[in-house]
Amino acid sequence: MSDYAPPLISAERVIGGRAFDFSRRVAVMAIVNRTPDSFHDQGRTFALEKAVEAVRAAAGAGADWIDIGGVPFAPGPDVSVEEELRRVLPVVEAARDLAVVSVDTYRPEVAREVIKAGAGVVNDTSGLRDPAMADAVAGTAASLVITHSLAAPRTLHPSPQYGDVTAEVADFLRRRVELALSRGVRPDQIIIDPGHDLNKNTYHSLELTRRLREITEIGYPTLAALSNKDFIGETLDRPQQERLVGTVATVVFCIMRGARIVRVHDVPAAVDAVRMTEAMLGLREPAYTRHNI
């Protein structure tokens, strides 16, 4: 059981008004980007009506959470706070009654507004680069995802170097968790993410995945955000739109190492993979049983 049942701080949580028991279930987080330059969808859901359609489709396919992004992590032109809010707030409003709403942002100003609008999770890919993000979440009902990265979002960081990538990521996450706690964020609000591919090369991301248990044993529910990422594409020699099988394999592997939230583009395939893995681990009953009964 130790490979897939990490010690969890506050395994039972209420997030976005919905109950989760991370000792028994894995949450599927769908990705909906209102950006013209995201690495995978290439602006497919930039138009508001397309983003809302994607939200409804993800919820209908079984997504537990919907992660809405207005600014990609990757290098690119600056996006103002006002523009980011213009992009994400209408989608938060469209999604909040369908699933837990997460907003992918590194700006405290945006976090405050989306929490007011009904977001249950702030997904900070900068790992509290601005400590005021912790202040924005403290005292609210929202959860905070603390993600490892070396550089600020939207900036280049070529050829990142690590002595021991997993140990260094784990140390970073522990220190940032302590920072969040020191500023009033409750333990039951915190989620951690090792940041696959964020300022990491393929060897780093593979090593992190192989040793993910060292991250999940920190004790906070771990988010694995790995859908269609370059470490999968480079490992399999597959272009962006042909990485689904590699993504599903990586999702299952990460659950076996203790991940309890998985962030994905292809919701139906991920939901089936997650539910089948839960069933094989004895965490979920079959939907029905007729064969040889």
Domain boundaries, the chain: 30-225
SS3 286: coil
User: Could you confirm whether 34 is annotated as catalytic?
Assistant: no
SS3 6: coil
Count other C-beta atoms under 10 Å from residue 107's C-beta: 25
Average pLDDT value for the chain? 94
Q: For the chain, give the number of residues.
A: 293
Residue partners of 203: CB distance under 8 A and separation at least 6 = none
- pLDDT number for residue 45: 77
User: Could you confirm whether 200 is annotated as catalytic?
Assistant: no
30-225 in CATH: which number? 3.20.20.20
- Rounded to two decimals, the pTM is 0.94
Question: Measuring CA to CA, which residue among 104, 121, 111, 120 is closest to residue 39?
Answer: 104
Find the catalytic residue in 96, 107, 263, 275. 263
Main-chain dihedrals φ then ψ at residue 86, nearest 5 degrees:
-60, -35
Q: Count helices and strands (H / E) in the chain.
A: 10, 10
Q: Which residue has the higher pLDDT, 43 or 258?
A: 258
- pLDDT number for residue 35: 85
End-to-end CA distance of the chain: 28
- pLDDT number for residue 37: 67
135-160: string of b/e by CB count within 10 Å (b at 16+)? bbbbebebbbbbbbbbbebbeeeeee
Report d(CA 17, CA 289) in Å as an integer: 32
**H or E element in which residue 67 lies:** strand 65-69
Question: Measuring CA to CA, which residue among 138, 130, 64 is closest to residue 101?
Answer: 64
Question: Measuring CA to CA, which residue among 278, 249, 247, 286 is closest to residue 64?
Answer: 278
Look at 28-42, 62-76, 150-164, 231-245 and tell me which has the smallest mean pLDDT.
28-42
pLDDT in tens, 18-74: 999 999 999 999 999 998 866 666 667 788 999 999 999 999 999 999 999 999 888
- pLDDT number for residue 1: 39
Report d(CA 179, CA 167) in Å as an integer: 18
Count other C-beta atoms under 10 Å from residue 288's C-beta: 7
Q: Provide the 8-state DSSP code for 42.
A: T
Report d(CA 270, CA 202) in Å as an integer: 22
Outline where DSSP puts E strands in 92-141: 100-104, 121-124
Copy the structure tokens of residue 291. 């064969």
Find the catalytic residue in 229, 243, 257, 275. 229
- pLDDT number for residue 76: 81
Report d(CA 171, CA 175) in Å as an integer: 6
